């Protein structure tokens, strides 16, 4: 007989609806697993007092409730959660307890989901690995010597290890899709403006958006239904779906024209044969499903990389500059280096960089307009070993190593397109390797339809890591 954690999030929600298990019982099941099995660096804070209060409040399921009502989840430690310690992955905020919750937290609570706590993230969510000073590294359950990716590494480690059925991540340059690939999961980055950044609006550029990390496409879609929506004052927004994102998974995508390229966007770097094999296998699968595959050149020029880097450095500086000098000294070398870079960018320079990035995005979208979707590898290598990318002595080398590891993901943050990493492949040693599909801006439903079709043709739900 299947254990509760063997079931999908939607199956667990159905058990709650049928009163075969209570939200409190589900929460206790996962709390026990977290206590016994979190050797993957998933959680930095477990909010037990808040959990019991939430479970008691979920006595009667309201009419029209989310299919995930009563299902446990977790919130990334970058997101404000009133009354729960929120460290942003940094020693500078090790004692910070916010008195307000952000939109992501409020949306999860409004849907009747129970957050078990805060998941591990690198400092201010910047690196592609999760190795903060405030917690152990987040590692993939498939090989605990290797990284879970970043910056939503704790969220992905939690889902992959069966510590929660779904978790929230955020993605400004690949931070949902990178850990999804490292941990053998579905990681969905929604379109720009799909999920409100209220009330902080900490990204004035529009690179970052919150989204789901899950074991199945349908679970990811149901969680996106929870997170999606606009709030008054949002600077970006995407039109609402025709129905729900979960319903989109049950619709055929039709015959699509899918562009593909394997050349890295950010820089010339070798691509591991396993990642190329995953890309080619996905191409053959999509072709067998009736889609037209078309090889294309890079849609973004290499000149766009310097512009993105300028904007990324300024975003880091926005987190560093407000801190008093004593707290700035607590920051990691990479954060201080990026923060100094960003602080040295003048206002006019930053404005020009944003304008240039908008133009690069427009050119890429025009190039991709004839295609319904785009296929690339997610990452250039399987998950590296802990510490392999990190370089505290020379942060510039650290930054370059991250670019070589993630040479495709940030392209779709620049364009604002929805993108998903799917766990279609494994290496001969059993390490997960994702492939990435993207769609036109606001066509999240089509991308979910296509991803669900791929999953139905090559299912991965019953694939579990050691220690499951």
- Catalytic site residues? 76, 151, 175
For 27, the enclosing helix (H) or strand (E) is helix 23-37
- Whose structure tokens read 């007092």? 49
Contacts of 208 (CB under 8 A, 6+ apart): 170, 171, 172, 175, 197, 202, 413
| Beta bridge partner(s), residue 117 | 46
As a whole number of angstroms, the distance between CA 291 and CA 286 comes to: 6
In the block, which residue shows the tokens 């049928």?
18
Say how far residue 11 (Cα) sits from the centre of its chain: 22
* Helix H or strand E segment including 307: helix 303-320
Q: What share of the chain is helix, strand, coil (3-state, %, to 5)?
A: 40, 15, 45
Give the whole-angstrom CA distance, residue 189 versus residue 247.
18
Among 434, 428, 427, CA closest to 455? 434
Instruction: Give all strands of the β-sheet with 43-46 in edge-to-edge order.
Output: 43-46, 114-119, 72-76
Residue of 311, 389, 335 whose CA lies nearest to 149: 389
Distance CA 288, CA 281 (A): 11
CA angle 285, 187, 277 (to 5 degrees): 35
CB of 8 within 8 A of CB of 218?
A: yes
Alpha helices in 161-302 (DSSP H): 177-183, 217-227, 245-248, 273-288
Q: What is the dihedral of CA 391, 394, 397, 398, to 10 degrees?
A: 30
Q: How far apart are CA 309 and CA 105, in angstroms?
A: 29
Q: List the end-to-end C-alpha distance of the chain, in Å, as a whole number.
A: 15
């Amino acid at each position: 007989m299947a254990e509760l954690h063997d079931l999908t999030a939607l199956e667990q929600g159905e058990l709650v609806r049928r009163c075969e298990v209570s939200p409190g019982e589900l929460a206790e099941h996962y709390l026990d697993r977290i206590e016994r099995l979190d050797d993957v660096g998933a959680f930095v804070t477990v909010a037990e007092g808040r959990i019991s209060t939430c479970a008691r409040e979920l006595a009667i399921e309201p009419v029209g409730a989310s299919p995930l009502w009563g299902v446990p989840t977790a919130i990334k430690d970058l997101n404000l959660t009133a009354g729960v310690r929120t460290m942003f992955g940094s020693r500078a905020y090790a004692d910070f307890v916010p008195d307000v919750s952000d939109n992501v937290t409020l949306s999860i609570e409004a849907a009747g989901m129970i957050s078990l706590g805060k998941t591990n993230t690198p400092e201010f969510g910047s690196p592609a690995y999760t190795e903060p000073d405030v917690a152990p590294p987040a590692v993939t359950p498939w090989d605990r010597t290797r990284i879970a990716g970043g910056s939503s590494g704790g969220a992905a480690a939690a889902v992959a290890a069966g510590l929660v059925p779904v978790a929230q991540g955020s993605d400004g340059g690949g931070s949902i899709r990178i850990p999804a690939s490292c941990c053998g999961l579905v990681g969905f980055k929604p379109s720009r403006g799909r999920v409100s950044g209220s009330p902080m609006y900490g990204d004035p550029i529009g690179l970052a958006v919150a989204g789901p990390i899950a074991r199945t496409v349908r679970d990811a879609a149901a969680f996106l239904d929870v997170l999606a929506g606009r709030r008054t004052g949002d600077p970006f927004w995407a039109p609402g779906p025709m129905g729900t994102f979960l319903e989109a998974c049950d619709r055929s995508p039709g015959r699509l024209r899918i562009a593909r390229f394997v050349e890295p966007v950010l820089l010339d770097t070798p691509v591991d044969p396993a990642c190329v094999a995953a890309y080619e296998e996905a191409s053959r699968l999509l072709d067998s499903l009736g889609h037209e595959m078309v090889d294309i050149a890079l849609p973004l020029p290499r000149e766009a990389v310097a512009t993105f880097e300028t904007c990324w450095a300024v975003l880091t500086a926005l987190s560093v500059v407000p801190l008093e000098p004593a707290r700035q000294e607590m920051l990691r070398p990479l954060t201080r280096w990026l923060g100094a870079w960003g602080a040295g960018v003048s206002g006019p320079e930053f404005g020009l960089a944003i304008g240039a990035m908008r133009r690069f995005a427009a050119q890429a979208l025009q190039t991709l307009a004839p295609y319904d979707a785009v296929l690339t590898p997610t990452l250039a290598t399987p998950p590296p070993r802990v510490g392999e990318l990190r370089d505290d002595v020379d942060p510039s080398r650290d930054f370059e190593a991250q670019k070589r590891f993630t040479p495709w993901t940030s392209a779709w943050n620049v364009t604002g397109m929805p993108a998903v990493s799917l766990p279609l492949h494994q290496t001969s040693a059993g390490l997960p390797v994702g492939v990435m599909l993207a769609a036109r801006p606001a066509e999240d439903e089509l991308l979910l339809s296509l991803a669900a079709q791929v999953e139905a043709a090559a299912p991965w739900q019953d694939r579990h890591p050691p220690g499951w």
